[in-house]
Amino acid sequence: MNEVRQNPAYTEFRPRWYRAQVSTWWWLGRWSYLKFILREISSVFVAWFVAELLLALSALSSGPGDYGEFQDFLRNPFVVATNVVSLFFVIFHAVTWFNLAPKAMAVRVGGKRIPDLWIEGPNYLAWAVVSAIVAWFLLRA
């Protein structure tokens, strides 16, 4: 598709086009790009949560002693800091996800497109409900 364009023969009548290189720091150039990259970086914290969860389950399965040590690990200031940052990022992921969901789904009722809020709203509500249910199971135990 682009073979001719990539390497045209430059002659007197076809002088050199200027092709700017995209900088490694392109994502710092605009606020919208930075927000995008932060959103993508949130996936790393999602993976970190899974890793922590597996460590917790492994400690749980080893016995109360190991589980207690794991709790101490969670109280380490660096770990606390990491988890606070992770919490911010996973919430950021959830919010950006629900806000973008209506764009990806063109839901029509009676021939007209429904407002974005009709998709975002139920998502946020479901999020609150699911979180409440999970919290209830963990707090009553």
- Residues 55-84 within binding reach of another protein (CB under 8 A): 56-58, 60-61, 64, 67, 71, 74-75, 80, 83-84
Shortest spacing between CB 88 and another protein, in angstroms:
10
22 touches another protein by CB under 8 A: yes
Residues 53, 55, 57, 63: is their CA dihedral positive or negative?
negative
HEC-encoded secondary structure of 24-58: CCHHHCCHHHHHHHHHHHHHHHHHHHHHHHHHHHH
Write out the binding residues for another protein, residues 113-132 only, by CB under 8 A.
113, 126-127, 130-131
The residue count for binding another protein (CB under 8 A) is 71
The rounded distance, in Å, linking the Cα atoms of 87 and 48 is: 11
Q: Which helix (H) or strand (E) covers residue 98, if one does?
A: helix 77-104
109 touches another protein by CB under 8 A: no
Shortest spacing between CB 133 and another protein, in angstroms:
9
37 touches another protein by CB under 8 A: yes
